[in-house]
Amino acid sequence: MHPGEVCRRAGVRYDASSGTYHVLSFGVEFLVIPEKKRIDCPSEEGCLFLKKLKDFFRLSVLWYLTSAKHIDPTGKYLRPVDVKGWHRFSAGTHVLPLDRIAARFASAPDEFKAMGEEYGADIVGGYGDAAIRLYPLPRVPVDTGAVA
């Protein structure tokens, strides 16, 4: 695929001199080097993704780079059950610990927002006591909130 087209569709940057795509995930920059079949991260924050979550993360990033579309957000929120294949994330090791997160930050909405910002999130108003928009990948916004 032509790097310019990949960048336009996926919202990533390409460095022609090194043949490297620069992809932001949760506020952390990852380097995708197709010629070397490698995904690296120049910062310590990437270790979780490249070590503990390596198989899930690597496949997700590669799928994203080859499949993303440049579609402007509609502003319409979708529930997980509204997304094709959602059931994959409702059982087994894919389940997100949302109840534990809500309990942890129930009385600390400012801490919730601050931690979200550490992961590249935007603060979103109008949803409970605190809400953030995370970016697992550049064109994949995910909103979540905490209520005290």
How much is the pTM?
A: 0.84
16 pLDDT more than 90 = yes
Q: Are 118 and 28 in contact (CB under 8 A)?
A: no
Q: pLDDT tens-digit profile of 26-76?
A: 999 999 999 999 999 999 999 999 999 888 899 999 999 999 999 888 877
Q: Return the pLDDT at 84.
A: 77
Looking at the domain assignment, is residue 105 inside a domain?
yes
Looking at the domain assignment, is residue 86 inside a domain?
no
Secondary structure element (H or E) that encloses residue 63, with its range: helix 54-67
Looking at the domain assignment, is residue 31 inside a domain?
yes
Of 48, 67, 86, the last residue of a domain is: 67
Q: What is the mean pLDDT of residues 128-137?
A: 89
Q: Are residues 10 and 47 in the same domain?
A: yes
Token duo for residue 19 = 């043949």
Q: Are residues 12 and 59 in the same domain?
A: yes
Looking at the domain assignment, is residue 83 inside a domain?
no
Host domain of residue 36? 3-67
Domain total in the chain: 2
